[in-house]
């Protein structure tokens, strides 16, 4: 039987604006009803990879791309990260992060990473990020490859990269551009993958599981 189209697989900016504008609505829909597990899964895998390399989580200077209302930032803060900077393209996300999780982010910038001004780039680079998190924000018309690349290239060599993506976006049939990007990042030794893990990201509104792949690794060099 054909799957009923899952509207919430394709959440658009106006949906996020509504979800973030009403306190706890995002958590109610995405976490309570649709059982999203990704922030916990990704930050746990990051932590596990750090432990394996004897890296203290307290040394992390993290750029959280597509930060939303701060759920990932909160988990990084619990792990003791030294610095956490959130970036999101919509103002409502920044307002919600401050409203719902005050103090979690040292800074939160409302920016389009695909067209950073020189000033934005200088300001972000000055933080000497050694960690990039990007959770539940790639593909689906959200963060495009160009924005991910720009954020990746702000991370210092040997920095930690933790992100997830819908498994179909890593397959040959993908038209988001991420299949090719991730393949070349791994094949050209741009990213040294420490952990790749398929898991249930959340349920669709038809209650069918949606699977993502989490990738944690260490940056070797910039994406060219
Ligand atoms: C599903 S939410 C995930 C939020 C958070 N990472 C979490 O796991 O709860 C995706 C977020 O990506 C943001 N986003 C979409 N496109 C973006 C872009 N081009 N640059 C920055 N953020 C973007 C959206 O505004 C939204 O806040």
Domains of the chain: 7-219 (3.40.50.150)
Measured distance CA(188)–CA(185) in Å, rounded: 6
pLDDT at 47 exceeding the cut of 90:
yes
CA proximity to 142, closest of 112, 167, 117: 112
Residue with tokens 């004897």: 54
CA proximity to 176, closest of 141, 212, 223: 141
Rounded to 5 degrees, φ, ψ at 43 are -70, -30
The confidence score (pLDDT) of residue 10 equals 55
Give 13's pLDDT tier (boundaries 50, 70, 90).
Answer: low
Q: For 122-171, how does the pLDDT look when each residue is reduced to its tens digit (9 = 90+)?
A: 999 999 999 999 999 997 778 999 999 999 999 999 999 999 999 988 88
93 C-beta closer than 6 A to ligand 1: yes
Instruction: Show Cβ contacts of residue 88 under 8 Å, excluding neighbours closer than 6 positions.
Output: 66, 67, 68, 94, 97, 108, 110, 111
Measured distance CA(100)–CA(165) in Å, rounded: 25
Torsion angle (degrees, nearest 10) of CA 201, 207, 6, 166: 20
pLDDT at 70 exceeding the cut of 70:
yes
Contact (Cβ atoms closer than 8 angstroms) between residue 24 and residue 146 = no
For ligand 1, atom 15, which residue shows the shortest CA distance?
A: 142
CA proximity to 189, closest of 156, 224, 154, 142: 224
Residue 89, SS3 per DSSP: coil
Q: What are the angstrom distances between the C-alpha of 151 and each of 15, 17, 119?
A: 24, 23, 15
pLDDT at 80 exceeding the cut of 90:
yes
Q: Which atom of ligand 1 is nearest to the CA of 11?
A: 1
Measured distance CA(137)–CA(205) in Å, rounded: 18
Question: Which of 36, 68, 162, 178 for a ligand 1 pocket mutation test, highest count of atoms within 8 Å of Cβ?
Answer: 68
The confidence score (pLDDT) of residue 140 equals 73
150 C-beta closer than 6 A to ligand 1: no
For ligand 1, atom 8, which residue shows the shortest CA distance?
A: 135
Measured distance CA(165)–CA(212) in Å, rounded: 5
pLDDT at 5 exceeding the cut of 50:
no
Q: What is the mean pLDDT of the chain?
A: 92
The confidence score (pLDDT) of residue 1 equals 35
């Amino acid at each position: 039987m054909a799957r009923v189209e899952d509207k919430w697989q394709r959440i658009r900016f106006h949906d996020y604006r509504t979800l973030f504008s009403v306190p706890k609505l995002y958590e109610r829909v995405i976490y309570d009803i649709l059982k999203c597990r990704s922030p916990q899964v990704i930050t746990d895998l990051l932590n596990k990879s750090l432990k394996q390399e004897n890296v203290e989580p307290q040394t992390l200077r993290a750029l959280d791309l597509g930060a939303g209302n701060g759920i990932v930032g909160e988990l990084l803060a619990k792990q003791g990260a030294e610095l956490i900077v959130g970036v999101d393209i919509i103002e409502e996300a920044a307002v919600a992060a401050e409203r719902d999780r005050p103090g979690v982010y040292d800074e939160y910038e409302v920016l389009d990473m695909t067209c950073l001004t020189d000033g934005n780039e200088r300001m972000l680079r000055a933080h000497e990020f050694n960690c990039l998190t990007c959770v539940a924000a790639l593909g689906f018309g959200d963060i495009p490859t160009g924005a991910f690349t720009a954020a990746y290239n702000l991370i210092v060599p040997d920095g930690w990269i933790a992100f997830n993506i819908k498994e179909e976006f890593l397959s040959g049939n993908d038209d988001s551009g991420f299949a090719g990007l991730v393949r070349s990042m791994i094949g050209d030794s741009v990213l040294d993958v420490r952990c790749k893990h398929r898991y249930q990201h959340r349920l669709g509104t038809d209650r069918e599981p949606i699977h993502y792949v989490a990738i944690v690794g260490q940056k070797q060099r910039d994406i060219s």
